[in-house]
């Protein structure tokens, strides 16, 4: 990891704060894939799945529920136990998050909100380098807590561990497709895969570009790129700091890995520990060489200003710096809160915004699967009390029928 300070560090923060996922390089190809699946349905979907997702010529797109059930029996008892505990924690956190219905009444006017789940969602679970059963938990469980009736999972070449996670959660509609073609199928429907109301879950640049393309036709959670971590510490334990940097770096060779400190000695010690821990991890080494950096700040306040401008997916801070934090996908406080806890089992969701999107939203929550619908009911007296305001506003906007609709209700009452 290189170390920057002064103007070089400030310049780096400015550039990274304006980062965005470059989708132009794949947009033309993705547009063609999405268009073909939308037009030709399963014919195009199967062709792409056989080419890129490992689907055999005579293999069904949908995973047989019996295969899902069998996977649960095939994984180790230790893995089953870990899945159960992780699922309990994620489900409890989602339940705590769930917004409530309410009503308030004053002067003859009752207002409030009702909560309704989406009808159907599609959860994208990456295949890629490693199986990601944790992402199946993180996308399916909040949807279940929200009360979504139909939950579909798509995953290219789903591994045994992913199928076992599906079995634990009772998922029966799981499809062995991925990439832009899976997003198109969920957004527009094919003979095999029904159209859904919303698509959630992380993926590669093709998945991200496809989600962006279909976003006007099917709701999405957000666009997510390579993983990111920022750690801000001035007196932490070098080995623990380095372990989190390397852990996130091994996700993706394009991961953004940043350590910010005011301590020159701590910066040196962390750099040494990172080199040691990443020695036998080629993906982490590549990521750290590409986008790994240590920034020396002049003060604690400058360090947190930089962190807020970067608006990272994951951030680790000391407890006293938490009040200064404004922008992050998920926050980890202190030496004993590794990002791996959030990746798997502490409870908060690991589907998080990247590319600076944490400036305007946090990670996936149960609310992403809910509609908050406002309700209002006025009595005659309540309407009469507010009628002058309504009529004055309507006339100011030149909307005579609006004023009339109010006046007719109380004029002869």
Residues annotated as catalytic (active site), given as ranges: 313-314
- Three-state secondary structure call for residue 5: strand
CA–CA dist 257, 244 (Å, integer): 9
Are 205 and 300 within 8 A, CB to CB?
no
State whether the Cα torsion 36-40-42-46 is positive or negative. Answer: negative
Handedness of CA 186, 202, 152, 369 (dihedral sign): negative
Q: Half-sphere exposure (CA, 13 Å, Cβ side) for 218?
A: 26
Q: How far from each other are the two terminal CA atoms of the chain, in whole angstroms? A: 77
Judged on CB neighbours under 10 Å (0-12, 13-18, 19+), 107 is: exposed
Residues ≥6 apart with Cβ < 8 Å to 396 = none
d(CA 312, CA 359): 9
The token pair at 286 is 């590549």
Residue 257 burial (10 A CB sphere; 0-12, 13-18, 19+): buried
Q: State how far the Cα of 132 lies from the Cα of 153, in Å rounded to an integer.
A: 12
Q: How many residues does the chain have?
A: 413
Q: Do the beta carbons of residue 19 and residue 355 sit within 8 Å?
A: yes
**Across-strand partners of 122?**
152, 199
Residue 44 is given by DSSP the state H
């Amino acid at each position: 990891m290189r170390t920057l300070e002064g103007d070089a560090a400030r310049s780096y923060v400015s550039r990274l704060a304006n980062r965005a996922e470059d989708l132009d390089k794949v947009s033309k190809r993705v547009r063609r894939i999405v268009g073909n699946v939308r037009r030709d349905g399963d014919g195009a979907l199967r062709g792409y799945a056989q080419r890129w997702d490992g689907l055999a010529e005579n293999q069904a797109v949908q995973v047989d529920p019996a295969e899902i059930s069998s996977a649960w029996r095939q994984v180790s008892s230790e893995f089953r136990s870990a899945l159960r505990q992780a699922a309990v924690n994620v489900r409890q956190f989602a339940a705590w998050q769930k917004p409530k219905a309410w009503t308030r009444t004053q002067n003859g006017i009752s207002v409030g909100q009702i909560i309704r789940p989406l009808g159907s969602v599609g959860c994208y679970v990456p295949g890629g380098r490693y199986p990601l059963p944790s992402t199946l938990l993180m996308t399916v469980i909040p949807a279940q807590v929200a009360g979504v009736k139909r939950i579909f999972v798509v995953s290219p070449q789903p591994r045994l561990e992913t199928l076992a996670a599906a079995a634990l959660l009772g998922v029966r509609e799981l499809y062995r497709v991925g990439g832009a073609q899976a997003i198109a199928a969920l957004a527009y429907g094919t003979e095999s895969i029904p159209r859904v109301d919303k698509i959630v879950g992380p993926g590669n640049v093709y998945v991200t570009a496809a989600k962006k393309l279909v976003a006007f036709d099917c709701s999405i959670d957000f666009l997510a790129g390579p993983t990111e971590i920022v750690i801000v510490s001035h007196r932490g334990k070098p080995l623990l700091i380095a372990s989190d940097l390397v852990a996130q770096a091994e996700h993706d060779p394009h991961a953004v890995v940043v350590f910010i400190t005011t301590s020159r000695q701590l910066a040196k010690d962390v750099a040494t520990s990172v080199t040691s821990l990443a020695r036998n991890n080629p993906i982490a080494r590549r990521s750290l060489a590409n986008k790994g950096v240590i920034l020396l700040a002049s003060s604690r306040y400058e360090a947190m200003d930089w962190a807020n401008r970067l608006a990272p997916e994951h951030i680790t801070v000391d407890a006293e710096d938490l009040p200064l934090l404004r922008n992050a996908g998920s926050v980890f406080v202190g030496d004993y809160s590794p990002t791996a806890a959030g990746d798997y089992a502490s409870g908060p969701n690991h589907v998080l915004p990247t590319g600076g999107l944490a400036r305007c939203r946090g990670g996936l929550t149960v609310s992403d699967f809910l509609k908050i619908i406002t309700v209002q009911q006025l009595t005659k007296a309540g309407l009469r009390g507010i009628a002058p305001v309504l009529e004055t506003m309507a006339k100011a906007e030149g909307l005579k029928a609006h004023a009339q609709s109010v006046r007719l209700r109380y004029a002869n009452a």
